[in-house]
Amino acid sequence: MTVALKLHAERIEGTNAIARHGPDGVLVNGVQHTHSVVVPWAGLVTAWPVTRFDDLTADHFKTLAENAPELVIFGSGARLRFPSAGLLRPLIERHIGVETMDTAAACRTYNVLLSEGRTVVVALLFER
């Protein structure tokens, strides 16, 4: 049985709020995303071309740094897994904070920071 959790209003004006999340994906601005996805505080929500934790590279995190957020939240999937420091180097070198948590916690934390007006990006891994 798939359970989706509704987090907040469908939309926080001018931002990319996550309205619902579950093991099969997230709903952002009325659009369901069922594969790994990058959700910035504003702008385009984009597919994140990674399907397995073990396939992550520094280039995956480099694309997150290009948004120039103050913080990146990495949702590592159904369970908490930490990427190596080498993978996070593109963020560290740009002095961008990074937090890792399971995907459900990442969605909740992202919305809280978004509601505070923070420039935050969440990268959510949905393994296939």
Structural domain total, the chain: 1
- Give the pLDDT band of residue 14 (cuts 50, 70, 90): confident
Q: Domain limits at 103? A: 5-124
Q: What is the CATH number of the domain that holds 36?
A: 3.40.1230.10
Residues 6+ apart with CB under 8 A from 82: 76, 100
Q: Using pLDDT thresholds of 50, 70 and 90, give the confidence band for residue 1.
A: very low
pLDDT, tens only, 45-94: 999 999 999 999 999 999 999 989 999 999 999 999 999 999 999 999 99
